[in-house]
A and B are shown apart, each in its own frame.
Chain A
Amino acid sequence: MLLAVLIANSEGNILVERFNGVPAEERLHWRSFLVKLGVENLRGVKNEELLVANHKSVYIVYTVLGDVSIFVVGKDEYDELALSEAIFVITSALKDVCGKPPTERLFLDKYGKICLCLDEIVWKGLLENTDKDRIKRLIRLKPPTDF
């Protein structure tokens, strides 16, 4: 299960979060844990360089893209490497929507589209579409494979 996707700005304020199967009372904890992880480790990290963490049987992979930090949390089949795949899809979709690694302003300008992309990438806690052209088509209500 892909438990959470969370995008924060460089100060640790959360811009987007999507939880799947995480009890409401635990979300705050996850949020703070991830934000703390980011604040402590993401300084000076190159764009898209992947960092890893785990907590019990839950894996976390996170990275920086432009002004935003992206965190994905998963368990079971979504281990560090599967999460790396997922985060790769997310970063390439973000770059696609924003045209470059986004500044915070740009991210917020494209907020709606980003939410739609995430909706196509993660569907009920499972990674869905991984191809960025396909995602691009789907958020414009085009079929996944066009003719």
Chain B
Amino acid sequence: MDLITSDGSSSKPSPASSTTAPPPIDSGAPAGPPVPAVAERKSKKGTLMQIQSDTISAAKAAFNPVRANIMPQRQKKKPVSYAQLARSIHELAATSDQKSSQRQLVHNVFPKLAVYNSVDPSLAPSLLMLDQQCEDRTVLRYVYYYLARILSDSGSQGLSPGGGIPTPNWDALADIDAVGGVTRADVVPRVVERLTSEALNEEVEFHPRRLQALKALTYAPSSNSEILSKLYEIVFSILEKVGEPQKRKKGIFGIKGGDKESIIRSNLQYAAISALRRLPLDPGNPAFLHRAVQGVLFSDPVAVRHSLEILSELASKDPYAVAMALGKHAQSGGALQDVLHLHDVLARVALAKLCHTVSRARVLDERPDIKSQFNSVLYQLLLDPSERVCFEAILCVLGKFDNSERTDERAAGWYRLSREILKVPDTPSVKDSGSDEKDAGTQKATKDKSSKTRRPQPLIKLVMRRLESSFRSFSRPVLHAASRVVQEMGKSRAAAFALGLQDIDEGAEVNTYSDNNDSYDSDINPTAPSEGTRRVPPVSNGIGAKDTIASLLASLMEVVRTTVACECVYVRAMVIKALIWMQSPYESFDELESIIASELSDPSWPATLLNDILLTLHARFKATPDMAVTLLEIARIFATKVPGKIDADVLQLLWKTCLVGAGPEGKHTALEAVTIVLDLPPPQPGSVSGLTSIDRVSASDPKSALALQKLVQAAVWFLGENANYAASEYAWESATPPGTALMMLDADKMVAAASSRNPTLAGALTRLQRCAFSGSWEIRIVAAQALTTMAIRSGEPYRLQIYEFLHTLAQGGVQSQFSDMHTSNGEDQGASGTGLGSLISPMLKVLDEMYSAQDELIKEMRNHDNAKKEWTDEELKKLYETHERLLDLVSLFCYVPRAKYLPLGPTSAKLIDIYRTRHNISASTGLSDPAVATGISDLIYEASKARVPDLIYETTKKKSAEPDALDDDLVNFWAANLADDGAPAMNRVNEFLAGAGTDAPDVEEENIISRPSMSYDDMWAKTLLETTETEEYDARSSGSSSPDSIGSVETSISSHFGGMNYPSLFSSKPSTHGSSQSKERPGGSRYGAYEGPSSPIREEPPPYSSPEHRRYESFENPLAGSGSGSGSHSFSDGRPSSGNSQFGAALYDFTAGGDDELSITAGEELEIEDEVDGWYYFANGRAAAQVKKKRPGRDGKLAGLVPVLYVSPS
């Protein structure tokens, strides 16, 4: 679309259109008031033109040639619309030879245009004209900037890489433009053609432009293979000419002081390799590799950096080829050694990665010489003065590369770090090549220093000291990064222990090459703070003390712990993660526990960080299952301290996995760790004491109190589900038949006997019993259910014990007996005692039926025995049916393994078996039970990375001597947790373990603070887009002698900007629109001064006519120029003309670009609730309507904003 030619009112032909824009289509209205003419042609397509007319309305109004050079003083501060800026470019491009035009472009037009996130393709012709004709460098620089923007604009709304004020989908606009618009497809080939020819222009004077042209070209979307191949062609042709290494000149690292030719050469090398870096990697292409290797020798440091980055990426695909291609560069004194001294941090980081990849490549196992060359460079990077580089080198040594490393790689990393020695090669690097000859003789000061660090050093010592000195830094990013390195160290160490690597005895003395020189720190890190700030003595202070890895680690961890005092909560979180990873399963974790407890008492911790730590516990467990109990103890602190902030699903998943991981010996402790929370006294409102004690729950606000209750409920449920597992007590494994002597005992003796037999189960029972009485209503219900589960799953005497208890509970009889045990929570327990009667009765009924069926069976058996007769098939069938019926009944309450569970008691086993064999009934239906299968697969971390399940499987396998492929305990355990939907938690854990997650954070609700100040958008309207008083220029305000109409449009723009407060963007509730706008209304009146005399008219809410009518007006208004302001009244007050609702249909597909927008599909029926008139949408080139769908769309949204022209009212 050409802004100018589409405007028929222009009596002065636009210079832009005459030269570069597509030929104007005769609108049939050569002169005079254009609006009627346009309006008359209001076909459906004409209606759609409205979109563009909204964008350009202001421009049209301003486009009166007669007034072109008038700058009314009172218009001084009027914000400039996109359309005005676009028009100015067209105009000024035509007169680009004039100094004043150039000045206006540079000072007013281009900077303001940068506010928008894209520019429309119709600007391209003018930009290209400027590119060809203008001489001014600054103008040209902007031209390249905007051409790149046009190339990169992906076409869909708001998706361009920029940001800033959203612009419409220009192509969509052009497509529906009846007059014939300019789309990207129209202009991109021309832009590419122009830039290509410039990028190939070899004139010496042209070369700065050549670089920018090449750069702009790289912004073309990589999906366009035509442009891509063109780019490869250009880049390789440049490198063909300049890529060959020249005879090295001195002074390469001081950029100044080369001859012109070599400087131009270097600039071109830079531009070409930078462009190559942005192109998709082409691993199989030898030219690609060849050029990248050449790039290492370039004199431009940025070019070297890009070459190394390309090489390191290539190396991860084909390390052998890269190593061979680099050849002698990697040798001592080669080009890679030079990079060690290159003043570009990222170049050295890339070098570290490259060296790591090559030195660990399996394919190079045959070439240990090459591997050791790269390894040596990597180790030297440990001495790098930049933390970024040094830390990268440490991570590489530790075997951390991306997040996909295998355990053995990490374990080997720990081994390297703790065992290897850094020997700096004797050959001096080329950095000092100028002083090579002096090397043997005079030793300069720098030499002294390097010789000191050149002593062979154990890596571990080097790294520990470096980290310690980093922990003394005041820079938060450094502290954060150092903690992260320690965390990774912990991971590698855990991997080494998990694999049981030989020779990782940490008590062994590390090599004593170092002479414990105190000046060490300042050697390797000249930027380290001075002695005065040191809080912790360096490792090596103890003279003559022997350093062991353990002592080095202990010293480091001491410093890490002190870092927990950092103000920044993110640093603290990282420190805690590091501590968790460095915690060994066999050491006391008291310190860690108390650190976490006191940290969690700080209310400033954001929930996301706490959950991150919780996930770290998962990862830690995965690495070292022996830590299960320790981790559960730590997790307990989260449960009691910050119940409201943590993800209960993730916590419960941790309980489960740790309980299984704890193994036979740890099971009891693990269950205790989870459920001890049930024994804690309830939170006392308002009590601050004991905040840091872990044996005290804290729930200071209603929200966390509620969360705590939910968590207690979960713990009760967990206890019921897993007590049998933890206690290894199952009815189907118990040999004790019912009706034995135990049952004859009285209740007290039975309890005593039970607890002596299985303290774990007895303890769980006691806890649940207490909960069934003293908890809140919700907890009592869960407790009763948990007890039933236990009753069903346990053998005698536990079942009977629970049965009795439930009876009393149902009657409320023992209330008094227990009442002294519970602190009243103020709830009325109800007239029926516990109030649980109705809930418990079906549970009791099941148990009743089981007991009576058992009695029946015993009776029958006795009869048969006495009569000495066999069981008939009929009798067996009856028995089997009872068995099945009871099984079904029991399964309603909890999971039991159907194949093994005997509701009629162990004595029924033989008879049931006989019947099954006779009738060929498979007993193992239980295992193929889909519920069981699902339960197991759900709980497997991930089929492909099934380390934990394997491990769990192995653990359980070991302890169970059963031949079953699937351990029944496990089946039972997992299946029992079906009710708990662990899947989302599982996903979160898996995502965390994979190190994924670059998605945007959810901002917590407390963020919804209304800022009365101006919003982002208001900003633009108010300050940036307004004309600065000092730099007024004619063309900008040309034709705006109709201040009233323009003023009103743009006043409404600013007031709508005021309404777009950021936080409210998250609420998609339509109501916020009304409210935020009305709230911000006073903002609009700030512009009252510019509203002109007709403003009073606008104060009145306009009568809502029809959308057609309104659109007609908005189309007409800016052009009318009559100053009546009649057209703008409907939207000038920025209020939705609400109250009107009508039906309509979607004309076109529209994809929501923001939270408050709604995606619609063409033809969809809609209810149009409001038309939210506003300048904001005018700025974007569209008015918006609030619509409601009949059914929720793909995104599940039912209501939102769509451009008004995308819907047609019926």
Interface mask (B118-158 → A, CB under 8 Å = 1, otherwise 0): 00000000000000000001101110110010000000101
The interface centre, meaning the residue of A30, A56, A80 with most chain B CB atoms within 10 A of its CB, is A80
Contacting pair B212 A141 (CB below 8 A): yes
> Does any Cβ of A come within 8 Å of B1016's Cβ?
yes
Give chain A interface residues in 61-96, CB to chain B under 8 Å: 61, 75-77, 79-85
Of the candidates B270, B278, B997, B1003, the one whose C-beta lies within 8 Å of that of A32 is: B1003
Known: A9-B1019, A50-B477, A80-B478. 17 other contacts (CB 8 A): A6-B163, A11-B1013, A13-B1015, A22-B1000, A24-B159, A32-B1066, A36-B1007, A50-B476, A52-B476, A55-B608, A55-B1001, A79-B481, A81-B477, A124-B278, A141-B208, A145-B263, A147-B258
Closest to B474 in A: A49
A31, A80, A111, A127: the one contacting B480 at CB < 8 Å is: A80
| Most central of A41, A55, A58, A129 by chain B CB within 10 Å | A55
State which of B162, B300, B570, B1154 has its C-beta within 8 Å of the C-beta of A145.
B300
Instruction: Write out the residue numbers on chain B whose beta carbons fall within 8 Å of the beta carbon of A19.
Output: 161-163
Complex Cα spacing A57 to B487, Å: 14
Cβ < 8 Å to B, chain A residues 116-147: 116, 119, 123-124, 126-130, 139-147
Residues of A close to B267: CB separation below 8 A: 143-145
Contact residues of A: prevailing secondary structure: mixed
State whether A35 and B1062 are in contact (beta carbons under 8 Å apart), knowing that A57-B998, A81-B387, A112-B142 are contacts in the complex. Answer: yes
* A141 and B1062 contact, Cβ closer than 8 Å, known pairs A28-B1155, A112-B106, A123-B215: no
Q: Which of B93-101, B343-351, B913-921 contacts A (4 or more CB under 8 A)?
A: B343-351
> Does B1000 contact A27, Cβ atoms closer than 8 Å?
yes
Q: How many A residues touch the partner, as a band?
A: 35 or more
Decide if B302 touches A61 in the complex (CB within 8 Å): no
Task: Enumerate chain B residues within 8 angstroms of A57, measured Cβ to Cβ.
Answer: 403, 995-998
B476 — which chain A residues lie within 8 A by C-beta? 50-52
A contact residues around B1065 at 8 Å (CB): 28, 32
Q: Which residues of B contact A139 (CB under 8 A)?
A: 141
Pair B1003/A126 contact, Cβ less than 8 Å: no
B327 at the interface (CB under 8 A from A): no
Using known A-B contacts A13-B1018, A30-B1000, A143-B208, determine if residue A123 contacts B274 with beta carbons closer than 8 Å. yes
Report which of A28, A41, A82, A143 forms a contact with B264, defined as CB distance below 8 A.
A143
Q: How far is the CA of A84 from the CA of B397 in the complex (A)?
A: 23
A43 interfacial contact with B, CB 8 Å? no
Q: Which of B108-116, B174-182, B753-761 is near enough to bind chain A?
A: B108-116
Known: A82-B346, A141-B209, A143-B208. A26 touches B388 (CB 8 A): no
Cβ–Cβ contact B145 & A85, under 8 A? no
- Interchain pairs with CB closer than 8 A, number: 217
Chain A residues whose CB sits within 8 angstroms of the CB of B158 once the complex forms:
24, 27
Q: Which residues of chain A come closer than 8 Å to B770, judged between CB atoms? A: none
C-alpha spacing A85/B1154, complex, angstroms: 32
Could you write out 6 A-B pairs with CB less than 8 Å apart?
A: A11-B1014, A26-B999, A33-B1003, A52-B476, A54-B570, A123-B274
How distant is A35 from chain B, measured CB to nearest CB, in Å?
A: 6
Q: Is the CB of B111 within 8 A of A112?
A: yes
A132 to B244, CA, bound (A): 29
Within 8 Å CB of B161, what residues of A?
18-20, 124
Q: B residues within 8 A CB of A81?
A: 386-388, 391, 477-478, 481
- Find the A residue at minimum CB distance from B256: A145
Q: Given contacts A12-B1011, A16-B163, are A140 and B999 in contact (CB under 8 A)?
A: no
B904-944 interface bits toward A, Cβ cutoff 8 Å, 1 = contact, 0 = none? 00000000000000000000000000000000000000000
Q: Mark B679-696, 1 if CB is under 8 A from A, else 0.
A: 000000000000000000
Asked if residues A58 and B998 are in contact (CB atoms below 8 Å), the reply is: yes
Contacts A18-B163, A31-B1062, A141-B138 given: A113-B349 contact, CB under 8 Å? no
**Nearest CB in chain B: distance from A122 CB, A:** 10
Of the residues A31, A52, A113, A146, contact of B570 by C-beta under 8 Å: A52
**A142 vs B999: C-alpha distance in the bound complex, in angstroms?**
39
Residues of chain A contacted by B570 (CB below 8 angstroms): 52-54
Q: Is B1162 an interface residue (CB 8 A)?
A: no
For residue A146, which residues in chain B have a CB less than 8 angstroms away from its CB? 263
- Assess whether B1063 is interfacial by the CB under 8 Å rule: yes
Q: How far is the CA of A14 from the CA of B1066 in the complex (A)?
A: 16
Q: Quick check: B388 and A85 within 8 Å, CB to CB?
A: yes
Residues of chain A with a CB closer than 8 A to B1000's CB: 22, 26-30, 33, 55
Known: A19-B163, A113-B111. Is A52-B568 also a contact (CB below 8 A)?
yes
Any A CB within 8 A of the CB of B201: no
Q: A12-B1011, A80-B477, A147-B258 are in contact. Are A52 and B571 (CB under 8 A)?
A: yes
Closest to B259 in A: A147
Q: How close is B122's CB to chain A, nearest CB, in angstroms?
A: 21
For the complex of A and B, 7 pairs with smallest distance between CB atoms: A112-B111, A56-B997, A17-B163, A29-B1000, A26-B1000, A81-B388, A80-B477
Given contacts A84-B475, A124-B219, contact A51 B388 (CB under 8 A): no
Cα separation A33 to B386 with both chains bound (whole Å): 30
Are the CB atoms of A24 and B344 closer together than 8 Å? no
Interface string of B1034-1054 (1 = CB under 8 A from A): 000000000000000000000
- In the assembled complex, the CB of A76 is this many whole angstroms from the nearest CB of chain B, namely 8
Q: Would you call B164 and A16 a contact (CB within 8 A)?
A: yes
Residues of B within 8 A of A77 (CB): 346, 349, 353
Closest chain-B Cβ to A92's Cβ sits at a distance in Å of 15
* Bound form: Cα–Cα A79–B1155 in Å: 29
Determine if B745 is an interface residue (Cβ-Cβ < 8 Å): no
Q: Mark B187-217, 1 if CB is under 8 A from A, else 0.
A: 0000000000000000000011101100100
Cβ–Cβ contact A11 & B1011, under 8 A: yes
Looking across the interface, which residue of chain A has its beta carbon closest to that of B615? A56
Interface flag for B104 (CB, 8 Å): no
B1024 at the interface (CB under 8 A from A): yes
Question: Residue-by-residue, is B990-1013 near A (CB-CB < 8 Å gives 1, otherwise 0)?
Answer: 001001111111110001000101
CA distance A21 to B691 in the complex (A): 44
Q: Is B218 part of the contact surface with A, judged by Cβ < 8 Å?
A: yes
Contact A126 B277 (CB under 8 A): yes
B260 part of interface (Cβ distance < 8 Å): yes
Interface members, chain B 359-397 (any A CB < 8 Å): 386-388, 391
Q: Are B145 and A115 neighbours in the complex by a CB distance under 8 Å?
A: yes
A143 CB contacts on chain B under 8 angstroms? 207-208, 211, 263-264, 267
Q: Tell me the bound Cα distance from A129 to B270 in angstroms.
A: 11
Which residues on B sit within 8 Å (CB–CB) of A115? 111, 114, 145
Nearest Cβ on chain B to A117's Cβ, whole angstroms? 11
Residues of A within 8 A of B274 (CB): 123, 128
- For B107, list chain A residues within 8 Å (CB): 112
B266 at the A/B interface (Cβ < 8 Å)? yes
Instruction: Check: B1028 CB closer than 8 A to any chain A CB.
Output: yes
A15 at the interface (CB under 8 A from B): yes
- Report the bound CA distance from A61 to B570 in whole Å: 11
- Identity of the chain A residue whose Cβ is nearest the Cβ of B262 in the assembled complex: A147
Q: Which residues of A contact B402 (CB under 8 A)?
A: 76
Closest to B211 in A: A143
Smallest Cβ distance from A108 to chain B, in angstroms?
5
Shortest distance from the beta carbon of B337 to any chain A beta carbon, whole Å:
22
Pairwise interchain contact B266-A15, C-beta atoms closer than 8 A: no
B1023 at the binding interface (Cβ < 8 Å): yes
**Which partner residue on chain A sits nearest B1014 by CB separation?**
A13
CA distance A147 to B256 in the complex (A): 8
> Which residues of the other chain, B, contact A17 by a CB distance below 8 angstroms?
162-164
Q: Tell me whether B508 is interfacial, beta carbon within 8 Å.
A: no
Complexed CA–CA distance, A50 and B995 (Å): 25
C-alpha spacing A36/B1008, complex, angstroms: 10
In whole angstroms, what is the CA distance A105 to B142 when docked? Answer: 22
Q: B856: shortest Cβ distance to chain A, in Å?
A: 60
Asked if B25 CB lies within 8 Å of chain A CBs, one says no
A13 and B1016 contact, CB distance less than 8 A? yes
Complexed CA–CA distance, A30 and B1003 (Å): 8
Quote the shortest CB–CB distance from B555 to chain A (angstroms).
Answer: 23
Chain B 839-874 residues near chain A, CB threshold 8 A: none
